[in-house]
Structure 1
Amino acid sequence: MSRATAELTPAARAFLTRPDTAAFTTLRPDGTPHVTPVRFTYDTAAGLARVTTRAGARKARNVAAGGPAAPVALCQADGLRWVTLEGRAVVTDDPERLAEAVRRYGVRYRMPPPVPPDLVVVEITVARVLSLNL
């Protein structure tokens, strides 16, 4: 279990399994933030969040341009309750890693994700967890 995962309360862990969306923040090549709503999964045992998307999507391009460990943040909120997962991300089209991301998405959201021909997964190694009222 990662240190960041250890910081999660049981209520926060349960909150991150709800079929909600989150705001995903990446940095554009010019350093300005790009924020977009996404569906994601969080593997508490590995301390790894996953976002499936198209390789050509701005968020994937931002992560790829950020180098081997681009800084990112995911924030899931519901009223005055929220959890933010901060860490470093990479983009991959590795078939095994993609299959795991698709499987976990199906479990959390009870449906498969969209599967465009250029599907990739953004994998975020979570280094910090922030939360309120959980």
Structure 2
Amino acid sequence: MSRDLPRLTAAARGFLALPRTATLTTLRPDGTPHVAPVRFTFDAATGLARVTTRAGTRKARNVAAGGPAARVALCQADGPRWITLEGRASVDTDPVRLAEAVRRYTARYGSAPPAPPDPVVIEITVDRVLRLNV
């Protein structure tokens, strides 16, 4: 786990394991926010969240354009309960990282993610967790 990541309660870990859709907020090159619905996985042991997507999507391009300083927010909500995971993000095309992201996604959502011709994984090293009623 990232040394700055607060310990998550069992309830928070359970909430993040539910097969829900979240929103991923990235910053466009002009600094304005871009918010997109995504499916994701979170490894509480390492503090790493993963989003599989296509290389040409706005979210992937925003993260890539941000370089090593790119920060994102991933928020899962269910009624009055929500958790936001914030951290530095990167885009990776490594087949091993992609396979791990697909494996985790399949385990969480019960089916594999779409298989586009230009797959990438956005990896988020979570260093801040905000939550309410979880």
TM-score range with shorter-chain normalisation?
A: over 0.9
Query: Which ranges in structure 1 are unaligned for 5 or more consecutive residues?
Result: none
Please tell me the residue identity of whatever aligns with 1:38. Answer: V
Between the aligned partners of 2:116 and 2:132, the Cα distance in structure 1 is 35
- 8 Å Cα contact 1:26-1:73 kept in structure 2: yes
Q: Structure 1's 3 and 9: CA in aligned 2 closer, same or farther, altered over 3 A?
A: farther
Q: Structure 1's 4 and 104: CA in aligned 2 closer, same or farther, altered over 3 A?
A: farther
Query: Which ranges in structure 2 are unaligned for 5 or more consecutive residues?
Result: none
- 8 Å Cα contact 1:87-1:127 kept in structure 2: yes
The 5 A counterparts of 1:1-134 are 1-3=1-3, 5-134=5-134
Range that drifts further, 67-76 or 28-37? 67-76
TM-score by length of 1: 0.97
Shift, 1:5, TM fit? 4.8
Between the aligned partners of 2:70 and 2:108, the Cα distance in structure 1 is 25
Shift, 1:15, TM fit? 0.3
- Per-residue CA deviations over 1:6-29 (Å, capped at 9, x if unaligned) read 431111100000000001000000
Between the aligned partners of 2:102 and 2:133, the Cα distance in structure 1 is 30
Between the aligned partners of 1:25 and 1:40, the Cα distance in structure 2 is 13
What percent identity do the matched residue pairs reach? 75
- Per-residue CA deviations over 1:40-85 (Å, capped at 9, x if unaligned) read 0001111000000000000000000001231100000001100000
RMSD: 1.0
- 8 Å Cα contact 2:6-2:129 kept in structure 1: no
2:113 is paired with a residue of what secondary structure?
A: coil
2:17 is paired with a residue of what secondary structure?
A: coil
